[in-house]
Amino acid sequence: MRVSQKSWPLKQPLKFAFAELHSIDVLTVELDSGAARGRGEGIGVFFHGDNPEKGAIELAAFEKGFGSQVAVEAALGGLKSYAARNALDCALWDLRCKEASTSIHEMIGAPAGTIQTFQTISLDAPGAMAAAAEKVTGPRLKLKVDAPRIVDQVRAVRQVRGDAILMADANQDLSFERLREVAPALAKLNLIMLEQPLTAGEDADLAGFQSPIPLCADESCFTVSALEGLAGLYDAVNIKLDKTGGLTGALALLAEARRLGFDVLVGCMAGTSLSMAPALALATMCDFADLDGPLLLADDYDNAARYVDGTVYPPPKEFWG
């Protein structure tokens, strides 16, 4: 096993309700069986105190016991770092695919093909967000919004992009009172979904609320264990492999979300095409995709995913899966 870390600069700062990012730090895991090599990338969940550095330290402590694939699989459940679990799990999937000469789509039973992704508009003043939206050629836009300006931000973008499918992400910035106040106006602006309006843990405030726009849980939904408590409160859940601990956990969350009647958005913590590749395979079984991470970066891997006007062409299986 080889573990490495790298910082990938963003083209421009990515702002949202509680943070501003200038680069994305990643943890990369490579597994070599002698016959094949598998790779995976994890970023972690920084708002839970996790990052690639912590993941690398934890993997180093486990590494001596990683003598076989069986040992690696057994160790996954004991890892606390989201970044470490995601990178290691996805490296295992890639290794299995290459050893079996089978695509990831065949292995997980997912349709192959392109997907349509939302493209992110960073949090800013309404006019600046509208200007940014005018430059995006794809039809699906995800707006990073905040509580005081949310209606003005969505309205400004809608005025210049009447053609676009708009989703907004509040990143926990709204109170329930503010949500109730702005929801009718957002519905009139044809917003198709509002992601994580309330602080995680305050989800019960939504009980009985008949929202005129669909609500999606993100920070409130990490793994299968969270879903029962979100049923009846949210219409959709956002699956991110860094939250679920890799593709294995994401597949389990998708299955249970479908059983409970949720729509499913597959998202990301930004990242390179190595982060996107397993999520792109999952996306063909989901309702929405927010997998524009590489578009936010100043650079990406060679032979990576291709983005054309919001359509994503997955990287070749030689790259991953």
Residues placed in the known binding site: 169, 195, 218
Contacts of residue 282, Cβ cutoff 8 Å, sequence gap at least 6 = 108, 110, 239, 241, 247, 250, 251, 254, 266
| Number of Cβ atoms within 10 Å of the Cβ of 86 | 35
With b meaning 16 or more CB within 10 Å and e meaning fewer, what string describes 176-203? Answer: eebbeebbebbeeeebbbbbbbbbeeeb
Residues 230, 256 contacting (CB under 8 angstroms): no
Rounded to the nearest 5 percent, the helix, strand and coil shares of the chain are 40, 25, 35
Alpha carbons 257 and 129: distance in angstroms, whole number: 32
Of residues 144, 188, 243, 317, which has the active-site annotation? 144
Side chain identity at residue 119, one-letter code: Q
Does residue 291 contact residue 266 with C-beta atoms inside 8 Å?
yes
| Rounded Cα distance, 138 and 167, in Å | 13
Paired with 25 in beta bridges are: 7
In single-letter form, the type of residue at position 292 comes to: D
Annotated binding site for Mg(2+): 169, 195, 218
Q: How far is CA 123 from the centre of its chain?
A: 17
15 is catalytic: no
Catalytic site includes residue 135: no
The single residue of 142, 240, 243, 317 carrying the catalytic annotation is 240
Tokens for 87, please give them: 């990178």
Q: Which residues contact 193 (CB under 8 A, 6 or more apart)?
A: 167, 168, 213, 214, 215, 216, 235, 236, 265, 288
Which residues carry out catalysis?
144, 240
